[in-house]
Structure 1
Amino acid sequence: MEESQEIKLFASDLDGTLIPVDESPDPQQLREFHDLIQSRSEFTLAYVTGRHFELALAGLALAGLPVPHYLVCDVGTSIYRSLSPLADKFDPSSWRPMESYSRQLSRLWDKNAVEVVEDTLLKINGVSLQEGEKQGNYKRSFYCTELSRELKEALAPWRERLCVVESFAVDSHYALIDLLPRGVNKLYAVRFILEELQMSPLEAVYAGDSGNDIALFESEMHGIVVGNAHQEVKAAVLANNWEGGENYIARGKTIAGVLEGLQYFGVRGG
């Protein structure tokens, strides 16, 4: 890559990026990732996931990933700060929600619109609310058997008042619908962290693999597209010449691709 600002923040998606979908992380690659993060005292680590907080912690502990400084959950609608970043173990009591972020989202949350959309969606065959623990203060989530034309038409009038995220569950045949505050997503949360740290976006790298990561690859940050990323993600990155950070499409999958990309952007062990 061309000469640029030093990378100070690494943010990454979890499932399919740092956490392989169908297997455990490679022990050697995991050790290399730990060593790289631990060797850079000025580095800030953030994980960004659609999982709710408890499920995110469980997944991170099971995968053996290093404890981050920040954990973005619920598709960007909650941020937690660790009191013991880079510790060896995940302690659920050592996390605090970022209240300043919650206050900001509360001003954007259109509760009335959400209630109307919920009533409308639940009348459509195949749509149901997700479990209580998968809901958030600023996130209303649904399962649906398919992203039908009827469903899309029901959502269309509300897209200017709410952020509507459509995706597919990694471990099931269900499609997922998330209603979020307008303009809020993973990118919004990472930008908030950058502002909190008073960092330039060009001092940040984000790694991901799926459609809800494209907004970050289109942003002013640098991006790592891991080798196992969905083809539509790679195609979107290759087809567009947006202004902002540089994107690197790795050959390696999951953690191997992350390590490859970080090396490309000059992030090496100290």
Structure 2
Amino acid sequence: MSAEQPKPLVTDLDGTLIPLAEEPANAADLETLRRKLELHRGEIAFATGRHFDSVLRAIDEFQLPTPKWIVCDVGTAVYLSSDDGSFVLAESYRRELLRITEGRDVQSLRSELLRLNPELSLQEEPKQREFKLSFYVDPSRMPAVVGRIHEQLTRLAAPFEIISSLDPWQPRGLIDVIPRGASKASAVTWYAQETKIALEQVVYAGDSGNDLAALVAGCRAILVGNAAPELIAEVQQRHLEADWQERLYVADGKATSGVLEGCYWFGMFPQ
């Protein structure tokens, strides 16, 4: 697609890189992707709503390629690989989030938001992080609740915003309250600036609402075949408005297969 080989591949995990149980081709395509990355010395990174320990478990459980860096907790933490194979928290990115929040603890909003929004239920404690307050909600109620929380955060003058998406594994909505401006997109942009990689050379693969900001940040974007039609339409419209040419690929294949398909289309490596 492009004369200049893109790098790196940044991918969401659940619903995107991780194989779906009902898609038998996914497992084989994951192995193909791993071999292609090794053969062509490709760089892969993960951008996920999972917390760090959950990412490490997923790498082991699904035999995922080893990432060079990991964006966790919906863009509120970045971990960089070190020479010994371990990962270290990127303190400079953390300091940026502390600056945005002016030191205000997002967890301090927990009781007030639960009181004002009885439809919410708190996610498990390991999913509550330094810069992320997370809830479950009935999907049918999510648009109304998200709008209401947005108004409440504005009234409280809280330097936070909302990321919402659907759980790919269970019929429930996910709502995360995170620092204003923080997202998978802000983390990917930060890394590109730190490593002096042009953002348009980054390939980002995703499937859900919490990938939206990254899919329209200026990266080359892969939407896998199981992405919601509404998300596909919005990403297509945003790319059209930005006049980005050939920066979006909507895959036929679902999850892993769609990621591999998009990598071929963007010329990350030959078929």
Query: Match for residue 130 of structure 2?
Result: 137
Query: Match for residue 5 of structure 1?
Result: 4
**Superimposed CA distance per residue, residues 1-47 of structure 1 (whole angstroms, 9 cap, x where no aligned partner):** 3x453212110011111113445773421221011111223x32110
Within 5 Å, give how 1:146-165 maps onto structure 2.
146-147=141-142, 149=144, 152-158=147-153, 161-165=159-163
**Equivalent pair of 2:122/2:134 in contact (CA under 8 Å):** yes
Q: Which segment drifts farther, 200-209 or 145-154?
A: 145-154
Question: Whole-Å Cα distance in 2 between the matches of residues 260 and 168 of structure 1?
Answer: 24
Query: Match for residue 36 of structure 2?
Result: 36
Amino acid in structure 2 at the alignment position of 1:40:
H
Question: Whole-Å Cα distance in 2 between the matches of residues 171 and 253 of structure 1?
Answer: 15
Question: Whole-Å Cα distance in 2 between the matches of residues 70 and 4 of structure 1?
Answer: 26
Calculate the TM-score normalised by the size of structure 2: 0.86
Query: Match for residue 207 of structure 2?
Result: 209
Calculate the TM-score normalised by the size of structure 1: 0.87
Amino acid in structure 1 at the alignment position of 2:267:
G
Query: Match for residue 88 of structure 1?
Result: none
Within 5 Å, give how 1:107-256 maps onto structure 2.
107-109=99-101, 112=104, 114=106, 117-123=109-115, 124-145=117-138, 146-147=141-142, 149=144, 152-158=147-153, 161-240=159-238, 241-243=240-242, 244=244, 246-256=247-257
**Equivalent pair of 1:109/1:180 in contact (CA under 8 Å):** no
Q: Secondary structure at the match of 1:59?
A: helix
Change (3 A) 1:98 1:154: closer
* 1:233 CA displacement: 1.6
Q: Secondary structure at the match of 1:79?
A: strand
**Superimposed CA distance per residue, residues 206-261 of structure 1 (whole angstroms, 9 cap, x where no aligned partner):** 01111221222212111111112111122223334132461011111222211111
Structure 1 vs Structure 2 CA RMSD: 2.5
Displaced runs of 4 or more, over 6 A: none
* 1:106 CA displacement: 1.1
**Equivalent pair of 1:51/1:74 in contact (CA under 8 Å):** yes
Q: Which segment drifts farther, 103-112 or 74-83?
A: 103-112
Percent of aligned positions that are identical: 34
**Equivalent pair of 1:218/1:242 in contact (CA under 8 Å):** no
Change (3 A) 1:106 1:235: same
Change (3 A) 1:75 1:115: closer
* 1:139 CA displacement: 1.0
Q: Secondary structure at the match of 1:107?
A: helix
Question: Whole-Å Cα distance in 2 between the matches of residues 98 and 115 of structure 1?
Answer: 21
Q: Secondary structure at the match of 2:142?
A: coil
Q: Secondary structure at the match of 2:40?
A: coil
* 1:152 CA displacement: 2.9
Report whether the alignment pairs 1:53 with 2:46. no
Within 5 Å, give how 1:66-145 maps onto structure 2.
66-83=65-82, 94-109=86-101, 112=104, 114=106, 117-123=109-115, 124-145=117-138
* 1:98 CA displacement: 1.0
Gap regions ≥5 residues in structure 2:
none
